[in-house]
Structure 1
């Protein structure tokens, strides 16, 4: 029984170690026109400007999410204030639960996580507007260790794999990461 609980806990920690992305990702949605063009500006030019702005904001949120997750994981702090600055539910809750489990088991993250995110789709017509991000995460230098003796937590050795995330624009104008998935079976 204890081995099964350890296995489930380890699986949860691996998710945190690889950025905490444990929810399903959205499908590849195609971008569509959302705003009326300004006078004197072609519709396509405004659309491209809006899409570029959405891409930049979503990538900034994703980068902030990675940084906040790494910082929170170094102390296994589920209440780290930067998490709510870049994450929204349901991903926020899943990351916080994983961090709480790590803390309860006396584990923290160490090492380096490398990221190469790209935008794969923008949908400004959805409610809320979304941006899908694909990333090649290199977690080979990122580990969960026990605080007490710095031993590596079994099953938390990182890999280089595909990850996906969804950024959504909320009513207050912020872009937040609300869904993501680590695809450990898909190396990159």
Structure 2
């Protein structure tokens, strides 16, 4: 039971389902039509610039999320102040719950977590605006250990796997990671 609960915490570190693809280049864009033919249409330069700015802000929020989660997990601190800076609900509540579970079981995270995120879609016209991120997370050097004795928590050895995250722009203009999923059965 303890290992299963802590494995959920490990999975909760990283992010949710991704949808679509991103247009991040200027110039004409090929658009599929109902008759199977491709047509070019001009892309608004301001729109492209807005999407690129959103991508960069979302990736910055994602990097902040990973850093805040790693720092908080080193002490199993569900109230680490950087969590609210980079995460939003429902992911914030899930991460805090998993950190609390690790704390109650006397476990903390140690090691190195590597990440290689890419933006896969931008939806600035959504409410709220969103950016979907896909990542190959390498958690092979990252694990949970018991504070008492430093032994590894059974079943929490990290893997190299696919993860996804959703960044949302909030009314204050900040981008935060609001949803995420780790697909440990999908190596990358």
TM-score by length of 2: 0.86
Q: What are the within-5 Å matches in structure 2 for residues 80-91 of structure 1? A: 80-91=80-91
**Off by >6 Å, runs of 4+ in structure 1:** none
Q: Which runs of 5+ in 1 are unaligned?
A: 32-41
In 2, are the aligned partners of 1:14 and 1:155 still within 8 Å (CA)? no
- 1:153 positional shift: 0.2
Q: Report the RMSD for the aligned CA atoms in angstroms.
A: 1.6
| 1:67 equivalent in structure 2 | 67
Matched, 1:14 2:10: yes
Q: What CA distance in whole angstroms lies between the structure 2 residues aligned with 1:171 and 1:48?
A: 21
Structure 1, residues 110-155: CA drift from partner, whole Å, max 9, x if none?
Answer: 0000000000000001000000000000000001000010000000
Indicate the structure with greater helix content: 1
- State the match for 2:19 in structure 1: 27
Tell me how far 1:187 sits from its aligned partner: 0.6
Partner of 1:114: 114
Gaps of 5+ in 2: 24-41
Number of corresponding residues: 170
Give the conservation status (yes or no) of the 8 Å contact 2:59–2:117.
Answer: yes
Q: Is 2:3–2:156's contact at 8 Å kept on the other side of the alignment?
A: no
Q: TM-score by structure 1 length?
A: 0.86
CA distance in structure 1 between the aligned counterparts of 2:14 and 2:166, rounded to whole angstroms: 13
The 8 Å contact of residues 14 and 163 in structure 2, kept in 1 or not, is answered as: no
More strand by share: 2
The residue that corresponds to 2:123 in the other structure is: 123
Which residue matches 2:134? 134
Partner SS for 2:44: helix
Secondary structure at the residue paired with 2:150?
A: coil
Q: Is this contact kept in 2: 1:20–1:95, CA < 8 A?
A: no
